[in-house]
Structure 1
Amino acid sequence: MDFQDSDALEMFVDYQRAQNLAATTIRNRCSILRTLAANTGRLVDCDVFSLRRYVGREGVAAGTRRTERGAILAFYTFLQTEGLRDDNPATKLPVIRVPKGEPRPFTREQVDAMLESGAYRKTRAMILVGYYQGFRVSQIAAVHGDDIDVLTNTIRTVGKGRKERRLPLHPTVRELASTMPAHDWWFPARKNPTTHIRASSVTDLITKAKVRAGITDPRLTPHSLRHGFGTDLVENGVDIRVVQELMMHESLSTTQVYTGVSEQRKQASIVTLRPRQVPAHSGRRQIEVAA
């Protein structure tokens, strides 16, 4: 990437920080734009045809395409607004249609298997926070001892969009807290203990526990702990609006993606219809005789 591209990216980062966007969002957007530059050979003066070719390349999931389109659109809108480009080629990118998401939760048995897989203590703690609090990996990574308030039985966390909330503390996580640092990061970075580990490190550690547990379903990721949290709450009869608040979702429709209905519940529901004997005959002859 030449200096002009690097300079534009640096200014774009400053702009996003001034917007108070999350560090994870800024980092992911920069990663997308650097990959775009590596594929097209240029960034600041990239044309719409190159952008379409990049976004439409084969082997990319619809959700990823949409995320990449959003990052590209934000970048070129910034360039045009700042007068670094006269036009905005990203406005000509087609809207990405993404199929409705399906929940992919870990079952309780799979969570138990990961906890008993030989995972280290801190990895087990990550799994417990992910499942019993429904936290994203970024929230798990940033748990601090001072976030725990045993008097109010709550845990402080920061979700998407820098939304800060205090949520009810699950008894299992409350017990876990007694074994974790009371006034420090629960999961400090190895090279710099004054800060917490990255979300990607949490992903790697939980994924290794999944593999050791013999769980081979490629659809299950560390985020599936959050799916399991939402699904099991609904399975236990918790109102969907309450689940929405616990998962810190702006939209109820977003919560519904995370709250699948288990096969067991489907089976239990369908048999509530009163059974009847299957008729051996049509009964048409009896009707004709009666007539």
Structure 2
Amino acid sequence: THGQHAVPATFGYKIAVWIDEFIRHIDRLKGSEERVFVTMLGGGAGTMASVGMEGLKTQELMAQELGMHSMQMPSRTIGDHLTEYITLLAMLSATSSKIAREVYTLMKQEFGELEEPVPIGAVGSSTMPQKRNPRLCQDVVAWAAEVRTFVPMALESMQTEHEADKTTSMMINSAIDRTCILVDQILNGLTEIFRDIQIFPERMRANVELSGGLIMSERIMLVLGKEMGRQKAHDVIYQAAQNSVNQARPFKETLMEEQELVERLSEKEIIELLDPEKYTGLCSYFAETYSKKASILVEKLRK
């Protein structure tokens, strides 16, 4: 967290978080369908003056034919439903961008935990032959940023004067058209990224060890806290952690110098508490649970 080691977490946990967000995006989009996808036949100003009740019936028949819903209050000044749609798509794009940015970051040599598909023969640079660039991730991030720019325009388009205004119609039409195209590109981009993404668990494990065991501070503090109280335990482990960083020494060494710790825990117990694989909490549970939820959702969407 905040760019620093916190506690161990699995890649499956990270995926579960993304799935959870996507489930909500889909729920919101489905929940908006009756408001967003509507037909309107209200005449020049929406008053139905030229068509009367027959116009409402015709509007309903149009909706049935198109698989949409009939606009309850037909008016050319209403734009909140279209703005809602663009906002929902922008939220979906924001999550997609976050995912792509994470893959982009973890693809850096400094991390080396993931790699998006890089086709054989792909050239990353005309002057640097070694380059394997995260092209797809960069595309998704850029497209998503563009989608978000249309939210203010959509909100502005709701400021329609009187009963119709070409200015705001032009704005919302442009926003809708471009947003839908971009979201299609974003989702296709994510699909391509994860269809053949490479995962390097050995590098993930090595990266956990970069802090020399400091990532396990919380676990040791909680165990010690049962013996001497949480705050006192925090002070003891804090001192050992700061000594490890400031003196560039392994965390285990500085822990063993804390008398109040070694009086209560053996060296063997301390070594066991420094194992990150035994402190991943409910990561496996979340990964398995949301993997199943994703599979169920995919089947529903395919029907």
**Structure ID, larger Rg:** 2
TM-score with structure 1 setting the length: 0.24
Give the number of the structure with larger relative contact order, counting CA–CA contacts within 8 Å between residues 6 or more apart.
2
TM-score with structure 2 setting the length: 0.23
